[in-house]
Structure 1
Amino acid sequence: MTDELREQYDVVVVGGGAAGLNGALMLARARRAVAVIDAGEPRNAPAEGVHGLLGREGMPPAELLAIGRGEVRQYGGHVVDGAVSGAKAADGGFAVALADGREVKARKLLVTTGLVDRLPEIPGLAEHWGRGLIHCPYCHGWEVRDRAIGVIATGPMSMHGALLFRQWTADLVVFTNERLALPAEEREKLIARGTRIVDGAIERIEAEDGRITGVRLAGGEFVERSVLATSSRLEARAGFLKDLGLKTVEHPSGAGEHVPADPVGRTDVPGVWVAGNVTDLMGQVGASAAAGAMAGAQINMELVNEDTAAAVAAYRAR
Structure 2
Amino acid sequence: MTTSPYASDALPDGAVDVVVIGGGAAGLNGALMLARSRRSVAVIDSGSPRNAPAEAVHGFIVLDGTPPPEVLRRGRGQVRRYGGRVVFGEVASAEPAAPSKDGDLRFTIALAGGRSVTARRVLVATGLKDVLPEIPGLAEHWGHGVVHCPYCHGWEVRDEPIGVLATGPASIGHALLFRQLTEDLTYFTQGIHLDEATRARFAARNIRTVDTPVQEVVNNEDGTLAGVRLTDGQVVARRALAVATRMEARTEGLDGLKLPMEDLPDNMGRRFASGMAGTTEVPGVWVAGNATDLTAQVGASAAAGALAGAHINSLLATADTDAALAAARGGTPAL
TM range (shorter): over 0.9
TM-score (norm 1): 0.98
1:115 deviation in Å? 0.3
Structure-2 residue corresponding to 1:186: 198
Distance 1:138 1:243 in 2: 36
Matches within 5 A, 1:236-315: 236-252=249-265, 254-315=267-328
Task: Within 5 Å, give how 1:46-61 maps onto structure 2.
Answer: 46-61=53-68
Of 126, 129, 133 in structure 2, the residue corresponding to residue 120 of structure 1 is 133
Q: CA deviation at 1:254?
A: 4.3
SS in structure 1 of the partner of residue 93 of structure 2: strand
2:22 counterpart residue number? 15
The answer to whether the 8 Å contact 1:238/1:248 transfers is no
1:208-227 deviations in Å (ceiling 9; x for gaps): 22211111111111101110
Q: 2:150 aligns with which of 137, 146, 165?
A: 137
Kindly provide the amino acid, as one letter, of the partner of residue 307 in structure 1.
Answer: D
1:201 pairs with 213, 224, 233, which one?
213
Give structure 1 stretches of 5+ with no counterpart: none
> Which amino acid in the other structure matches residue 123 of structure 1?
P
1:6 aligns with 2:19: no
Shift of 1:239: 3.5
Query: Distance in 2 between the 1:83 and 1:257 partners?
Result: 21
The answer to whether the 8 Å contact 1:239/1:247 transfers is no
Instruction: Tell me if 1:223 matches 2:236.
Output: yes
2:103 matched to which residue of 1?
none
- 1:249 deviates by 2.4
What CA deviation, in whole Å up to 9, does each residue of 1:258-309 have, x standing for no partner?
A: 0001021011100000000000000000000000000000000110111111
Aligned to 2:164: 151
- Mapped to 2, the partners of 1:216 and 1:34 lie a distance apart of 51
Which residue identity is paired with 1:226? R
What 5-or-longer segments of structure 2 have no aligned partner?
1-6, 100-105
Please say which of residues 52-61 and 239-248 is displaced more in the overlay: 239-248
User: In 2, Cα distance between the equivalents of 1:152 and 1:263?
Assistant: 35
Describe the SS at the equivalent of 1:146.
coil
Determine if contact 2:260/2:281 at 8 Å carries over to the other structure.
no
Tell me the percent identity: 57
Report if aligned partners of 1:238, 1:247 keep a CA contact under 8 Å in 2: no
- Find out whether 1:103 has 2:110 as its counterpart: no
How far is 1:245 from its partner?
Answer: 1.5
* Superposition RMSD in Å: 1.1
Q: Distance in 2 between matches of 1:251 and 1:34?
A: 32
> Secondary structure at 1:159's aligned position in 2?
helix
Residue 4 (structure 2) aligns with = none
Residue 65 (structure 1) aligns with: 72
Which letter maps to 1:282?
Answer: T
Tell whether the 8 Å contact from 2:168 to 2:266 is kept in structure 1 after alignment.
no
Instruction: Work out whether residues 93 and 253 of structure 2, in 8 Å CA contact, stay in contact via their aligned partners in 1.
Output: yes
**Equivalent pair of 2:169/2:266 in contact (CA under 8 Å):** no
Residues 66, 59 of structure 1: alpha-carbon distance in 2 compared, 3 angstrom cutoff? same
Aligned length: 317
The alignment partner of 2:276 has SS state of coil
Asked if the contact 1:241/1:247 (under 8 Å) is kept, the reply is no
Task: Provide the secondary structure at the position in 2 that maps to 1:76.
Answer: coil
Q: Distance in 1 between matches of 2:130 and 2:154?
A: 19
Deviations 1:153-205 (A, max 9, x none): 01111101001100000000001111x21111100111111111011211111
Corresponding position: 1:235 with 2:287: no
Deviations 1:89-140 (A, max 9, x none): 1132100010121111000000000000010000110110000000000111
